[in-house]
């Protein structure tokens, strides 16, 4: 990712299978006379466990300011799983290269009383060639940039 370090430090990833995972304390015993490789492996597993525990704890605190989803899964199932962690009056944004999965999600969000200002837009960027005394669109511009579904999540009552 081409983000600055301060942004990368705030980003967290969590495997879908660990979403409702209960973390157990780290238990990894080194052999009686561990090699340097054993020690390095133990430290790597300990750091990984600590980072995963921190990520799950942060997720369970909830009340996030925004939820941005870009997935190959059905957007409706992902939204249903992750919206409880989203704070009230916060933005939900879902990106997909295809319109069809987002149309289904759009219809369900419009019918829901949990969401307001539901919008489905096409993202498209046209590059222009600027030369002295002439400006025109680049001739080989790609037309597809994907689709964005956005909505405001209302605070639970």
Q: pTM of the predicted model, to two decimals?
A: 0.72
* Mean pLDDT in residue range 76-104: 93
Instruction: Using alpha carbons, select from 75, 72, 65 the residue that is nearest to residue 120.
Output: 75
Structure tokens at 61: 């605190």
User: pLDDT-derived band of residue 83, with 50, 70 and 90 as boundaries?
Assistant: very high
pLDDT at 108: 96
d(CA 149, CA 88): 18
Query: How does pLDDT run across 131-145, given as a tens digit for each residue?
Result: 888 887 777 766 667
Looking at 17-21, 36-40, 51-55, 147-151, which range is the least confident one? 17-21
Tell me how far the alpha carbon of residue 1 is from its chain's centroid.
13
* Mean pLDDT in residue range 84-110: 94
Positive or negative torsion for Cα 68, 71, 77, 81 = negative
d(CA 15, CA 71): 12
* Mean pLDDT in residue range 52-61: 89
H or E element in which residue 48 lies:
helix 36-61
């Amino acid at each position: 990712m081409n983000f600055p370090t301060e942004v990368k430090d705030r980003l967290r990833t969590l495997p879908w299978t660990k979403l409702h995972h209960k973390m157990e304390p780290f238990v990894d015993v080194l052999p009686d006379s561990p090699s340097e490789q054993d020690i390095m492996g133990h430290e790597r597993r300990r750091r990984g466990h600590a980072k995963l525990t921190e990520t799950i704890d942060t997720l369970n605190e909830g009340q996030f300011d925004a939820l941005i989803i870009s997935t190959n899964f059905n957007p409706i199932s992902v939204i249903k799983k992750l919206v409880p962690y989203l704070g009230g009056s916060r933005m939900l944004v879902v990106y997909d290269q295809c319109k069809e999965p987002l149309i289904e999600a759009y219809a369900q969000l419009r019918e829901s009383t949990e969401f307001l200002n539901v919008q489905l837009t096409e993202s498209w960027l046209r590059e222009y060639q600027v030369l002295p005394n002439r400006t025109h669109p680049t001739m080989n511009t790609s037309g597809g940039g994907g689709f964005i579904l956005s909505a405001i999540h209302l605070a639970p009552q």
